[in-house]
Chain A
Amino acid sequence: MKTTYKVAITIAIIALVVASAFAYQYLENSATAQKVTLNGAGSTFIFPLVDKWAAEYHKIKPNVQINYQGIGSGGGIQQHIEKTVYFAGTDAPLTAAQAAKAPNTLHIPITIGGVVVIYNLPGIGKGLKFTGEILAEIYLGKITKWNDARLAAINPGISLPDQPITVVHRSDGSGTTFIWTSFLSDFSPEWKETVGRGTSVNWPTGIGGKGSDGVTALVQQTPYSIGYVEFTYAMVNNLTYGYVQNAAGEFIEPSIESIAKAAQYAAITLPRGDASWSNVSIVDSLANNTQAHGAYPITSFSYIIVYKELNVLPNMNEATAKALVDFLWWAVHDGQNYAPGLYYVPLPSNVVANDEQTIRMITFNGQQLHK
């Protein structure tokens, strides 16, 4: 009998706790009926920035909760196609095939990323100069020694060691690799034909590290190695990076200014938000632009993609749609102020103007949401 009572008491307590939890949730829900949660997913690159925005925006609009999951651009696009998120983050614009599966998708460039060359040469600091051709040759396995004549010719005064180059690349599929291989494709016909551009490619040489941290660890531990990581990551971790030649012939140090400049030049030819963006690439547009002075050539937009007509999403209502549009408007304006602190590159004014136009296109049941 005693045990039975104990069991009964335990069950009663558990029941009480569960009941009160439900009651609390019910009370909370009814108290803040207009509470809105904006679900997004995608690019891991923009995650720290969006996370910061979520926190800051919640301070301004306490009823809006932004829930962004960094699951990778590919996953974000997939969820966008399946309409399971309200907005998705991606480092590459939708391909024609993807766009066909998600008609009426708007592209909103939200921040700018750069890819920097990092290396480990004992005794040599930052600022080693590279060109697209030389980097392609190194990654093709054609230039195998650091004291190669072509590399030495553009780096006068630096005594390059007679050591084999250990090439390091990302092993995981990544937007960074896409930008990097796009750049190499633009400057080397051989790279374009044999390796191509992609989130993962068939690397002719080198070893692969998983993630930016994997690449960085390999480069830092292996003397005479070369690798590539996101600009943000290189800055935060204080890595030794090189300068890269642009089409104007200048060797450019990657910086917030030089990357923003690249976006500014590219933005002149940006399409409308609801047009096809599959060919938009800052890297490509800069590869032929001999007038792009001061622009860092390995640069790319990261996007938030949304549907033009939000009523295609299940569970969408006008209040949520309005909250989403307000947040996007805030992100491309005030939100940009938080970018430099995290080593993200704020959007130049002509890109913001393009984004404004795009955000104005968003509707719910045909009603324009931002006026």
Chain B
Amino acid sequence: MKISQKVFPFFCNLNIKFILQLNHFKGDDIFKLVSALVASSIFLLLGLMVYELVKGSWLSIQTFGLNFIVGTKWDPAVSKVFGALPLILGTLVTSAIALLIGIPISLGVGLALSEYMPKKFGLAVSFLVELLAAVPSVIYGLWGIFVLIPFLRNHVYPYLQTAFGFIPIFSGPIYGGGVLTGGIVLAIMIIPTVSAVMRDLFLTVPNSQREAMIALGATKWETTKTVISYARSGVIGAIILGLARAVGETMAITMVIGNKFQVWPSSLFDAWYTMAAIIANELLEATYDLYISALINVGLVLLFVALIINILARLIVWRTLRFTRGIARE
């Protein structure tokens, strides 16, 4: 009790003085400074990351140079030659499949929740969607191995093969895991994030836009198209967010893609490999310096691929913004 009697007045005085002194004019300056510091830490983090990656992969860069990016051999045991081209292709293709499957679904979910569903139902569904976004990727991987793969192998892929088997990408042996399975799992993983962002985007479209369209005699679908067009740059942003997640996804894809190092798979059912997967698989037991360096080099390449994707996306957003400026945004 004695201590508290001494402590309380002390705190009160301090608080009042603090508030009086800082209110109004100093608070803004402090906040500005703090936010500037926080923002610049991003540069610092990225710089540090690039520095560490380049340092770690220096041995590999010296040994293989650009051959690392175009090389198609990954042999840690005999010739000790490392090339990452199959990994780069695997990453890009599985991500593309994920987008191909995931974007239409996400767009549909986003539109349904914002435009078509009753408000309360939409709220309930969007809560579930956001919950899905919080599921750890290893859970998706386990679910992929034990539920999705057996299901696809027994009930989907055989029919797909009978129907489209004449097209080379649907021929060949069916393992269950593989390129298509990897793409599907990635799609399932990006749908929650992308559709949640899209719903929020569509909700920010002013109602005046919808009312104007309806006043002009537009159908519901025509109104919806205007909503999409209004939010176009944001939609592309959401897609990029999904792509970024797909490119960097590690655990789930490792568990379902089959981890086969080859330049190009014989079909959608064949196994393949991605950059993130090989790092997760081999770094822990990499036994010599060049090997470790090559794996870090894969990380560096992955960072650059992500960077290029982001720059491309930025360019697309700018272009569409300029394009739509006269139309949707007056």
> Could you tell me which A residues sit within 8 Å of B by CB distance?
1, 4-5, 7-9, 11-12, 71-75, 77, 95, 97-98, 164, 166, 171-175, 181, 193-203, 206-210, 214, 217-218, 221-222
Chain B residues, Cβ within 8 Å of A210: 254-255, 259, 280-281
Min CB distance B185 to A, Å, is 14
Answer yes or no: B176 CB below 8 A from chain A CBs: yes
Q: Which among B259, B260, B288 is the interface contact of A97 at CB below 8 angstroms?
A: B288
| Contact residues of B between 9 and 30, Cβ < 8 Å to A | 11-12, 15-16
Q: Do residues B259 and A95 form an inter-chain contact, with CB atoms below 8 A?
A: no
Chain B 170-206 against A: per-residue CB contact (8 Å), 1 yes, 0 no?
0001011110000000000000000000000000000
Interface residues of chain B, those whose CB is within 8 Å of chain A, are 4, 7-8, 11-12, 15-16, 73-78, 145-146, 149-150, 153, 173, 175-178, 254-255, 258-261, 271, 277, 280-288
The answer for the CA separation of A86 and B149 in the assembled complex, in Å, is 43
CA distance A202 to B75 in the complex (A): 5
Q: Which 6 residue pairs spanning A and B have beta carbons closest together?
A: A173-B285, A208-B259, A198-B77, A171-B259, A196-B77, A196-B78
> What is the predominant secondary structure among interface residues of chain A facing chain B?
mixed
Contact of A200 among B76, B258, B277 (CB under 8 A): B76
Nearest neighbor of A225 in chain B, beta-carbon distance: B175
Contact between A197 and B4, CB atoms less than 8 A apart: no
Is the CB–CB distance between A202 and B177 below 8 Å? no
Question: A199-B287, A200-B285 in contact; A217/B146 too (CB < 8 A)?
Answer: yes
Asked if B285 and A8 make an inter-chain contact with CB atoms under 8 angstroms apart, the answer reads no
Known: A195-B78, A210-B254. A11 touches B284 (CB 8 A): no
A8 nearest CB across to chain B (Å): 4
Q: How far apart are the CA atoms of A316 and B64 in the complex, in Å? A: 42
A71 with B284: in contact, given A12-B7, A195-B78, A208-B260 (CB under 8 Å)? Answer: yes
Given the known interface contacts A173-B286, A218-B177, the answer about A203 and B281 at a Cβ–Cβ threshold of 8 Å is no
- A138 CB to nearest chain B CB (Å): 15
- A221, B153: Cβ atoms under 8 Å? yes
Q: A214, B255: Cβ atoms under 8 Å? A: yes
A8 touching B286, Cβ below 8 Å: no
B residues near A164, Cβ cutoff 8 Å: 173
Q: Note all chain B residues with C-beta closer than 8 A to A202.
A: 73-78, 261
A-chain residues with CB within 8 Å of residue B149 when the two chains form the complex: 221
Inter-subunit contact B75/A201 (CB<8 Å): yes
Contact B254 A171 (CB under 8 A): yes
When distances are taken between beta carbons in the complex, the residues of chain B under 8 Å from A1 are 12
Asked if B281 contacts A171 (CB within 8 A), the reply is: yes
Known: A195-B77, A198-B287, A207-B271. A221 touches B150 (CB 8 A): yes
Return A169 CB to nearest CB of chain B, in Å. Answer: 9
Query: B12 to A200, Cβ gap below 8 A?
Result: no
Q: Beyond A195-B77, A201-B78, A208-B271: 12 further Cβ-contacts under 8 Å?
A: A1-B12, A8-B11, A171-B277, A173-B283, A175-B285, A196-B78, A199-B286, A207-B175, A207-B258, A210-B254, A217-B145, A222-B176
Please tell me if the beta carbons of A208 and B258 are within 8 angstroms of each other in the complex: yes
- Chain B minimum-CB-distance residue to A198: B77
**CA separation between A175 and B287, bound complex, in Å?**
11
Evaluate contact between B285 and A199: CB separation under 8 angstroms: yes
Asked, given contacts A199-B287, A210-B281, whether A7 binds B76 with beta carbons under 8 Å apart, the answer is: no
User: Nearest Cβ distance between residue B305 and chain A, in whole angstroms?
Assistant: 21
Decide if B175 touches A172 in the complex (CB within 8 Å): no
Tell me whether B11 and A4 are in contact (CB under 8 A): yes
CA gap between A264 and B89 in the complex, in Å: 49
| Shortest beta-carbon distance from A306 to chain B in Å | 20
- With most chain B CB atoms within 10 A of its CB, the pick from A98, A197, A201 is A201
Instruction: Jot down 12 A-B pairs with beta carbons below 8 A, ordered by A.
Output: A8-B8, A74-B287, A75-B284, A171-B281, A173-B285, A203-B260, A207-B177, A207-B258, A209-B259, A221-B145, A221-B149, A221-B153
Docked complex Cα distance between A207 and B8 (Å): 68
A222 to B271, CA, bound (A): 14
Shortest CB-to-CB span from B3 to chain A, Å, is 8
Please indicate which of the listed interface residues B73, B280, B284 has the most CB atoms of chain A within 10 Å of its own CB.
Answer: B284
Report if A166-B175 is in contact (Cβ < 8 Å); known contacts: A7-B11, A202-B73: yes
A-chain residues with CB within 8 Å of residue B153 when the two chains form the complex: 221-222
Chain A positions within 8 Å of B254 at CB level: 171, 210
A197, B287: Cα distance in complex, Å: 12
A217's closest neighbor in chain B, by CB? Answer: B145
